[in-house]
Amino acid sequence: MKTASRASSLTRRKLLKASAATAALAAFPAPLIAQTKPFAGVTLHGASFQHRFFTLLQKYIPEFEEKTGMKVDLQLSALPVYNQQANLELSSGGSAYDFVNVTFTLATRWIAAGLLANLDEFTGDANLTPADWNPKDFVDGAQVPYRDAKGATYGYSWEGGAMLMGLSRMDLMEKKGLKIPKTFAELQQVCAEINGTDGVSGLVSWFLHNWNLPPYIQGFGGNIFRNPPGDPMPALNTPEAIQGVEFYANLLKSAPKGGLTYTEDQARQAMLTGRANIFIHSSAWVTPILLSDESKVKETSRVVRSPAGPVHDYPASNSQGLGIPKNAKNQKAAWEFIKWALSPEISMKLVKEHGHSSVCRRSIITSDDYRKLNTVNGQDLGALYLEVLELPGKGENYMAYRTSKEFPIVGDVLNKAFEQVATGQLPAKDAMNAAQDQAIAALRRAGTKL
Amino acid sequence: MERRRFIAFALTPSLIVLFAVAVLPAIYLIVTSLTPFQLTTPGSATDFSDPFRNYALLPGDPRFVNSLAVQAKLSVASVLFQVLLGMLLALLLNVPSRFVEFARTFFLIPMVLPPIVVAVIWKLIYAPDISPLYYAAQALHFTLPALTSSVDFALTAIIIADTWEWLPFTFLMVLAALQTIPDEYSEAALVDGASKLQIFWYVTLPFITPILVISGMFRLIDSVKAFPLIFLLTGGGPGTVTEVTNYYAYLLAFDTNEIGYSSAVTVVMLLLVCGISLGLVWMGRRKEALA
């Protein structure tokens, strides 16, 4: 009896399920279902380095998967590990990834070696890219690294970094009658005068000298290469480069003990606690003195443009992009993902819901919502960020040195030479002459024709 | 014959695994070192047109030559410290006592920690703004320089950290050797009126010398692997003061993508380590033969 009743109940349930399924099928015929889930069954493989952007994006990926029917497999690793993996994967012509982070410093190499797909083919096709996605909305300075010599685009930037100057102890500066430095000379003076006052260091920096140093070299009128990217002959021992190296090494005399080997985190912490007065680095590392809950110096801090050199005002900037490997299996699906991840809607969500401000869409950066969130103590941080980020796109691309395929080799030599100067092992002239010879030898060894 | 066949049969799987994980990569390393392999230069991995170019360039590369000198300084100093201090510690702790037993276990901790953890510990110790070492120095009105960014101290800082990590190894080896020495020898010497120093010199030392040589040899071979300490503490700097050969090879391969040249550097390093090992084995055999 009991068994019979159970069997009858199961039959009823089955019948109800079958009816519901039939009704659903009648309402949405098969072709229409396929249209609403255009990438059903596709598993999209992508890789990047770990960054807050992707941690935030991962929260919204299920919505994207639901909409498109594809499954997104996003692998995130530490930056050096990712760069090695991507270098190997791309150069061996593999098809393991459908989309990749186009690392700023590797972009030119990958593009020149033909390892990435031309994204103009996607943006130029109205069926693949609606007009409102608007590729021109991306800040031009952030897009420069992802173009080839003919102007074709191989990546769209998801993150930008613009060099700004943070001052954490304006109270001390005011007491001493010091103003915000606008030139290299004023910067040197402020650092020297503040250093040691109330146990505060004049300035703090971090160990990647080939990122921190070039604005000083360029500020004095020099460059890392003679004329990048076309002429990759190193220019490390020009009088201007030597002057820049001497200046920056002298500036670091106002840094905390051991500051030469500080990590970014150590430098940031020194600023947040008011132990160092000036930090010149990408906006994401500098603006926390005003925006972070950890900051103990919110009331006495300012964030401004970094000082200008006697010849040029060239604050460094960078961006990271998303691109599609040339041999990717699911290029259209990958483009769908990139389009979604960098859409104005998602960008705005990241800004509004998570305060993530380093986006590269001009319409977002100039929006009222963005401005409201990024204006602190009357300082419009977004405007500053945009101003610096777009500089390399205006006229001469002064950041070209950084994405030259020769830069990793020359940058490494520059790092070592600078440390020799800063620690007094060699005078700047001797160190830079030796660095020039080493850089040329290393480039020739690597097959660069000079 | 049957026995031989059985041994060969039993060893085959292990030999295949050993060949796959040790010999094949080494062969690939040697093959790669004969090419100008760069990750972003298509075809460079199979370009054998000038096979000895990388090796010919090595003597003229000042950073490579410097890295060998740095490696030699680091290896000799750290092995000397580890052997001498390990011996001293073993002599001090070679007494039957519960406290000493606990102390022995305590001394083993650095050796069993993952190398990267050791590097992080020393990174904290050497960081002037948060280090207890600097607070203590300040309390004693003593000014310490920034150890890892100072030209004069950076290599010493690495040697100290490496010694801390591997001292337990030599300590353990020597302690084991000390405990095999029959008490009768030292008791007889004592009866003959020998001082403690004389007992150590004429009785203990001859017993433990082979162990000192063996542990020194192991540490010498291992000292070329001080990579995590250098990576985390100094990055090879300031300048190239702490840039040892394997760190230079790492930079070449992963920072500047010169895989072929980096392989050549690594092959030279491999040959040097093999040479040192064979030399020490030969010395050991010669000593045995003489004895």
**Contact across the interface for B127 and A270, Cβ inside 8 Å:** no
CA A151-A152-A155 angle, 5° bins: 115
Chain-centroid distance of CA B187 in Å reads 37
The Cβ of residue B19 has, within 10 Å, a number of other Cβ atoms equal to 11
The Cβ of residue A68 has, within 10 Å, a number of other Cβ atoms equal to 20
Tell me if the pTM is above 0.95.
no
Residues of chain B with C-beta less than 8 angstroms from the C-beta of A252:
none
**Which residues, 6+ apart, have CB-to-CB distance to B236 below 8 Å?**
A416, B230, B242, B243, B244, B247, B248, B251
**Contact across the interface for B62 and A266, Cβ inside 8 Å:** no
Measure CA of the first residue to CA of the last residue in chain A; give whole Å: 93
Measure CA of the first residue to CA of the last residue in chain B; give whole Å: 35
**Which residues, 6+ apart, have CB-to-CB distance to A86 below 8 Å?**
A47, A97, A100, A101, A103, A106
**Contact across the interface for B127 and A258, Cβ inside 8 Å:** yes
d(CA A66, CA A70): 8
Q: Which residues of A touch B (CB under 8 A)?
A: 80, 83-84, 87-88, 91, 109-110, 112-113, 115, 207, 256-261, 266, 270, 275, 405, 408-409, 412, 415-417, 419-420, 422-425, 438, 441-442, 445-447
CA separation (Å) from B269 to B158, B245, B274?
Answer: 20, 7, 9
Report which DSSP code applies to A171: H
Which segment, A31-35, A336-340, A376-380, B211-215, is predicted with the most confidence on average? A336-340
CB contact, 8 Å: B12 with chain A?
Answer: no
Query: Which two three-digit tokens encode residue B53?
Result: 């170019």
Residue A1 pLDDT grade (very low, low, confident, very high; cuts 50, 70, 90): very low
| pLDDT of res. A6 | 43
Selection from A337, A358, A296, A278 nearest residue A46 by Cα: A337
Question: In this structure, are strands A317-323 and A302-305 parallel, antiparallel, or unpaired?
Answer: unpaired
Q: Is the peptide bond before B51 cis (omega within 30 degrees of 0)?
A: no
Sign of CA dihedral A36, A39, A42, A45: negative
**Which residues, 6+ apart, have CB-to-CB distance to A78 below 8 Å?**
A49, A50
Q: Which of B61, B151, B251 sits opposite A425 (nearest CB)?
A: B151
d(CA A190, CA A197): 11
Residue A19 pLDDT grade (very low, low, confident, very high; cuts 50, 70, 90): low
**Contact across the interface for A261 and B36, Cβ inside 8 Å:** no
Q: What CA dihedral angle connects A114, A115, A117 and A120, to 10 degrees?
A: -50
pLDDT in tens, A364-405: 999 999 999 999 988 999 999 999 999 999 988 999 999 888
**Which residues, 6+ apart, have CB-to-CB distance to A112 below 8 Å?**
A148, A405, B40
| pLDDT of res. A94 | 86
d(CA B64, CA B69): 9
d(CA B189, CA B186): 5
Q: Is the peptide bond before B238 cis (omega within 30 degrees of 0)?
A: yes
- Residues linked to residue A74 through DSSP beta bridges, in sequence order: A46
Selection from B249, B233, A438, B269 nearest residue B241 by Cα: B233
Mean pLDDT of B142-152: 90
CB contact, 8 Å: B145 with chain A?
Answer: yes
| pLDDT of res. B226 | 85
Q: Which of A88, A416, A447 sits opposite B39 (nearest CB)?
A: A88
| pLDDT of res. A33 | 44
Residues of chain B with C-beta less than 8 angstroms from the C-beta of A109:
40
CB contact, 8 Å: B234 with chain A?
Answer: yes
| pLDDT of res. A286 | 94
Q: What is the largest CA-CA distance in chain B?
A: 78
Q: Which of A256, A412, A447 sits opposite B36 (nearest CB)?
A: A447
Query: Backbone phi, then psi, for A274, in 5-degree steps?
Result: 75, 20
Q: Which amino acid is at B57?
A: L
Asked if residue B244 lies in contact with residue B230, where contact means CB atoms within 8 angstroms, the answer is yes
| pLDDT of res. A388 | 96
Interface predicted TM-score (ipTM) of this complex, two decimals: 0.84
- Residues linked to residue A153 through DSSP beta bridges, in sequence order: A147
Check pLDDT > 80 for residue A323.
Answer: yes
Check pLDDT > 60 for residue A21.
Answer: no
List Cβ<8 Å contacts ≥24 apart for B32-38.
B32/B259, B32/B260, B32/B263, B33/B260, B33/B263, B33/B264, B33/B266, B33/B267, B34/B260, B35/B260, B36/A447, B36/B260, B36/B261, B37/B259, B37/B260, B37/B263, B38/A446, B38/A447, B38/B257, B38/B258, B38/B259, B38/B260
Q: Smallest CA–CA separation between B281 and chain A, in Å?
A: 37
E strand map for A309-427: 317-323, 375-376, 379-380
Q: Which of A259, A408, A441 sits opposite B257 (nearest CB)?
A: A408
Check pLDDT > 80 for residue A31.
Answer: no
CB contact, 8 Å: B36 with chain A?
Answer: yes
Q: Smallest CA–CA separation between A109 and chain B, in Å?
A: 7
Check pLDDT > 90 for residue A432.
Answer: yes
Question: Which is higher by pLDDT, A19 or A442?
Answer: A442
The rounded percent of chain A whose pLDDT value lies above 70 is 92
**Nearest chain A Cα to B56, which residue?**
A445
Residue position matching structure tokens 């964030």: A303
**Nearest chain A Cα to B36, which residue?**
A446
Mean pLDDT of B207-221: 89
Check pLDDT > 60 for residue A34.
Answer: no
Residues of chain B with C-beta less than 8 angstroms from the C-beta of A420:
238-240
Sign of CA dihedral A364, A365, A367, A372: positive
Check pLDDT > 70 for residue A112.
Answer: yes
E strand map for A59-216: 71-77, 99-102, 156-167, 201-204
Best residue in B33, B46, B129 to probe A by mutation, most A CBs within 10 Å?
Answer: B129
**Contact across the interface for B40 and A442, Cβ inside 8 Å:** no
Mean pLDDT of A394-421: 92
Selection from A376, A211, A389, A193 nearest residue A278 by Cα: A193
Residues of chain A with C-beta less than 8 angstroms from the C-beta of B137:
none
d(CA A6, CA A3): 5
**Contact across the interface for B40 and A266, Cβ inside 8 Å:** no
Chain-centroid distance of CA B216 in Å reads 9
